[in-house]
Chains A and B, each alone.
Chain A
């Protein structure tokens, strides 16, 4: 299975959350809301580029709009594999977090 870095995970979740083609502006907004951090555009852009090369997200050019001289905007979209990997990651992590919580609870009990 593929492992994701925390950033990749965050950014992929942000793309996934858009439920369809996502522009950088929307992705940033979501991340700002959820993490409270204004991510550097380069880290976003570089991470997405890497994810694209791995085949977890894809990009396509939108219809040219009237703004900015009619240049097309680029959108990010989850691929099937990307969604799968996210699901796998969650599953694995869920199991591990559960273990963590239960052992934490056990420790607390014995301490008392």
Chain B
């Protein structure tokens, strides 16, 4: 008999796979006998043909039936699962709550990360748009400049064939007057390519004509509503405070939050020419250039051509260009002169890691709690097996149980997420709307989170529980496998490692933030009122100052070009007396008046500060210590230097102070007394909280007296300083919340483990007590076990936490040491929390009456 005398085995088995177990044999026999009958009667060919026609015609019906049967069984499984959940209320609550909390965290973080990632992706051509940035070696290798020469954009469009569109952009703000009301709006001066490249849809007017004529303006819907209310804005004339007039030709839809460019009006850039700006000067490096490239363009090639183009037109200031993809701009660090809104790629990565960690911890909980209850369910498993349940069926049963729990947790979490979203939005200052839950990608993401959770947390318990041998379980032996579950201990250790790592992270972030807040900046940052000054005000500055100082609550006042943290002007010095090095020194310039040091309460290291009495101060420079070091000056006072195209003498050295955020080291700087450059007034108020409001009102009245048509806007320097660390503070807040939750979830897991351990060792504890062990002795014994795990967890967590936190701290030029204590503290905290969690169960187990636990022995 050859092989061909039977129907094709694999095909037959494939069909049988769709049938009930006890139908299979009958089916196979039938196929066999008919096949052989045909084989004998009509030969192999027709037997085969018969078989395959049967195969093809039978498959759909069988598949349909097996799916129907599957749904039937699934209903059954779900019913059993719900019964189990109801029977074990406490356990189920712990399990579902833990999972739900984990899922909420994960979902919120997912939404946040998704939001951060989706910046600028709404543009149709997002993949082809780039921003041209300059890598400026003279400023520092890692520093990039986000602006280009003014004629750069049109020049590259004609010179480089790959550039399809090229737009130049200059941000600004204008004060519009309409019916006696003043509206200050932020907007952009752009070239017409701007609207061809980006997708900012218009509700009224057309994209093509919107910004062609410099006498026209397009405004956003919200600006239109602010200024005109319900009136139709098209054709209206908007005049600005400076006397320019624009005809409104278009209204565009509000710029999405997820755009790094934010603006409420668009005006053709040639308007700047009417305002007196030379738009053909290559040495004026101040416009942003965005390009849209040909589909097949090689980015590096284009950047090289840009570099060439720049260097031919501006050989005296050579530069190297790079192309920054539009979609990366938001998460890239801000470059010099950047106007864009920025996020932090690092935070995105950090929080993604935290989200995964939290979910993992929640899953581990689930696994541990499920397997820990194995002892209770082993009898059920044994009985099911005795009455004929196959292992596969049991696996399916347990998987559906975990799926039911996961789905319940998911629904809870979804509800909680929707409810918490507004609060979360405030916490992270975002505008994530609930509508996002309807987006395909988000649904997919959330579903995969649930699926992942269900599978990860369900598979192991299912396989583990279904493996029990009925004979042993029903005899009452739990078997070695339950007791010495190495994997379970590993999971607990892993869970606590994650907890300790997150806790260490929180402590380090907190410590660094506190350090920043309390750091000695080299000046007194409190009680400093900042008021920006317009041109008219600048002329009257001296008399205003005299008036101000009459108020006893105003201690001193000074004027400066810019606040120290926003300092961007700089110059290169090449010539000074006593120069010993070859190098040029890059100096930041701070324009100040003679009361600057006094008002900021800085200290002089050497020489004098500017003074009204000396007329020669017009040619005086004050350096900071960093500048003295950089210029390698032995005794700087009286030395001649040429700084910012002015010859002068160094009259003093001010002690180093932090003028930018502490991410950066203190850079060399020169202070120059130049009244024409004063844009801000800084007023030191007396540290008297009660009088502060009165004093501010006093300043305001004076202000209105001097310049009635200029708005009085003020801010406090320390608040402005704090806003420099918004990203870090946000990170700190989120970190704090989620670490709390991490610990909470880990504790739930430990609680389950503790009750399991106690249950496992009931008899052992009973015997120990009978033999004379004391309650503290037994509690200690149980504690030792957990202590061991937490210590192992610490050992694993510390290096990981050290690595990541060290990396984070590298961002700061001034940072804390990651002391041993941070680690020890989080380790001890984890231990304390762990022992506190297990203490109830341990004490309960230790104080139990041995007579109860040994009754059945």
Q: Residues on A close to B: CB < 8 A?
A: 23-25, 28, 38, 40-43, 45-46, 49, 67-68, 71-74
Contact = CB atoms under 8 A, between A and B. Distances in A.
Interface string B35-67: 001000000000000100110011111100100
18 contacts: A24-B26, A25-B34, A28-B30, A38-B50, A38-B54, A40-B61, A41-B27, A41-B54, A42-B58, A42-B65, A45-B23, A46-B61, A67-B29, A68-B28, A68-B29, A71-B25, A74-B25, A74-B26
Given A42-B57, A42-B62, A73 B50 contact: no
Given A40-B54, A40-B61, A42-B57, A68 B23 contact: no
A41 B19 CA distance: 12
Contacts of B37: 25
Nearest to B54: A41
A61 to B, nearest CB: 9
B32 interface: yes
B59 A41 contact: no
Interface string B583-599: 00000000000000000
B1 to A, nearest CB: 13
Contacts of A49: 23, 65
Measured as residues with beta carbon below 8 angstroms from the partner, the interface class of chain B is 20 to 34
Interface string B54-85: 10011111100100000000000000000000
Contacts of A45: 19, 23, 27
Nearest to B26: A74
Given A24-B26, A45-B23, A68 B61 contact: no
B31 interface: yes
A43 B53 CA distance: 13
Nearest to B18: A42
A40 B58 contact: yes
B33 interface: yes
B29 A71 contact: yes
Nearest to A43: B61
Contacts of A68: 25, 28-29, 32
Most-contacted residue by chain A among B26, B32, B37, B65 (CB, 10 A): B26
Contacts of B60: 42
B25 A41 contact: no
Contacts of B65: 42, 46, 49
A58 to B, nearest CB: 14
B61 A25 contact: no
A41 B59 CA distance: 10
B69 to A, nearest CB: 10
Contacts of B26: 24, 73-74
A38 B50 CA distance: 9
Nearest to A69: B25
Nearest to A71: B25
A74 B25 CA distance: 9
Nearest to A40: B57
A42 B25 contact: no
Contact of B33 (A25, A40, A71): A25
B28 A42 contact: no
Nearest to B62: A42
Contacts of A28: 30, 34
Contacts of B33: 25
Please list the 5 inter-chain residue pairs (A to B) with the smallest Cβ-Cβ separation, ordered nearest first: A42-B58, A40-B57, A42-B61, A74-B26, A24-B30
* Residue in A40, A42, A71 with the greatest tally of chain B CB atoms within 10 Å: A42
B15 to A, nearest CB: 8
Given A41-B31, A49-B23, 11 more contacts: A23-B30, A25-B37, A28-B34, A38-B50, A40-B54, A41-B54, A42-B57, A42-B58, A43-B58, A45-B27, A68-B28
A23 B31 CA distance: 12
Nearest to A74: B26
Nearest to B23: A45
A69 to B, nearest CB: 9
A5 B26 CA distance: 25
Contacts of A41: 27, 30-31, 54, 58
B59 A42 contact: yes
A112 to B, nearest CB: 47
Nearest to A28: B34
Q: Which of B23, B29, B65 has the most CB of A within 10 A?
A: B29
A100 to B, nearest CB: 32
A10 B53 CA distance: 21
A67 B36 CA distance: 13
Interface centre among B30, B32, B50, B62 (most CB of A within 10 A): B30
B34 to A, nearest CB: 6
Contact of B30 (A25, A40, A72): A25
Contacts of B34: 25, 28
Contacts of B27: 24, 41, 45
A67 B26 CA distance: 12
B66 to A, nearest CB: 10
Contacts of B30: 23-25, 28, 41
Contacts of A24: 26-27, 30
Nearest to B25: A71
Nearest to A39: B57
A74 B28 CA distance: 11
B532 to A, nearest CB: 84
Nearest to B29: A68
B24 to A, nearest CB: 10
Q: By CB atoms of chain A within 10 A, which of B53, B54, B61, B65 has the most?
A: B61
Contacts of A23: 30
A73 B32 CA distance: 12
Contacts of B19: 45
Nearest to B30: A24
A48 to B, nearest CB: 10
A23 B29 CA distance: 10
A96 B230 CA distance: 76
